[in-house]
């Protein structure tokens, strides 16, 4: 809003808006105070939502198109534990003299979705939905669908080879454990863990048509039975 002021005397001014109408300064200050109070209330609710505890769980925020990075930054500023899955792709751009040059670029792996770990409650959702770019939560605000912690570990290990996620999964999977293959050509087949390594891979002995076949899989591709 473009404003101007008109001098009435040595000490009095009337502030005018773009149309030339006088502005009620007291009302303007009151609205400003209300916005500040709302911002502080939202910050307090976000802080409450982000508190760690046994009731904190992972949920999936649905984000408006093209605003993934904006929401990611807002959650980071609010100290909310979150994860925006990303991947690195190679794009080719025409440089000088028409030469195509490859360039690495990090982009969202699941555009439109960001995972948050919060203690869910009505006021907390009010705060999260107040973040610019947040559209909804998977499952609806009344009964959002939580993502199991083990699924989060597998997803992070699969998408980004997250070392902490792999380390946590290594503590869960040991030689001799019976597992199910979740992904790939051996999906749904049962098997036994023969060995695991620090890279987040496991050698699995899978029974196929009565024969034992050894396959090398990522930990994110198997589930403990």
From residue 179, alpha-carbon distances to 6, 167, 218, 219, 220 in Å are: 79, 18, 12, 10, 12
Q: How far is Cα 221 from Cα 158, in angstroms, rounded to an integer? A: 8
pLDDT of residue 61: 93
Q: Angle at Cα 56 formed by Cα 51 and Cα 59, nearest 5°?
A: 115
DSSP structure class, residue 21: P
pLDDT in tens, 114-147: 999 988 888 788 888 888 899 999 888 888 989 8
What's the pTM value of the predicted model, to 2 decimals? Answer: 0.62
Residue 185 predicted with pLDDT over 90: no
pLDDT in tens, 26-79: 554 454 444 434 467 677 777 777 676 778 899 999 999 999 999 998 888 888
Structure tokens at 8: 């009435």
Q: What integer is the mean pLDDT of 190-216?
A: 83
Q: Report all structural domains of the chain as residue ranges with CATH numbers, in order of start.
A: 162-225 (2.30.30.30)
Q: How far is Cα 222 from Cα 207, in angstroms, rounded to an integer? A: 15
134 beta partners: 63
199 beta partners: none
- Are residues 18 and 1 in contact, defined by beta-carbon separation less than 8 angstroms? yes
Q: What integer is the mean pLDDT of 11-24?
A: 53
40 beta partners: none
- Are residues 169 and 200 in contact, defined by beta-carbon separation less than 8 angstroms? yes
Q: How far is Cα 131 from Cα 126, in angstroms, rounded to an integer? A: 9
pLDDT in tens, 73-122: 888 888 889 999 887 777 777 666 666 677 777 888 888 999 999 888 88
């Amino acid at each position: 809003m473009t404003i101007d002021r008109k001098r009435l005397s040595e000490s009095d001014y009337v502030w005018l808006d773009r149309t030339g109408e006088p502005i009620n300064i007291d009302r303007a200050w009151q609205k400003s105070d209300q916005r500040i109070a709302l911002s502080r209330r939202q910050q307090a609710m976000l802080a409450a939502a982000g508190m760690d505890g046994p009731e904190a769980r992972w949920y999936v925020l649905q984000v408006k198109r093209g605003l993934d990075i904006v929401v990611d930054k807002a959650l980071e500023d609010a100290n909310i534990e979150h994860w925006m899955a990303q991947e690195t792709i190679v794009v080719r751009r025409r440089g000088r003299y028409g030469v195509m040059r490859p360039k690495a670029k990090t982009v969202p792996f699941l555009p439109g979705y960001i995972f948050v770990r919060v203690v869910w409650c009505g006021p907390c959702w009010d705060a999260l939905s107040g973040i610019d770019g947040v559209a909804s939560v998977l499952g609806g605000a009344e009964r959002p669908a939580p993502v199991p912690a083990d699924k989060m570990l597998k997803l992070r290990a699969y998408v980004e080879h997250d070392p902490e996620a792999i380390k946590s999964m290594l503590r869960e999977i040991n030689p001799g454990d019976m597992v199910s293959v979740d992904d790939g050509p051996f999906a749904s087949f049962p098997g036994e863990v023969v060995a695991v390594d620090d890279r987040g891979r496991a050698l699995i002995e899978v029974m196929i048509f009565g024969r034992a076949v050894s396959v090398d899989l990522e930990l994110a591709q198997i589930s403990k039975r």
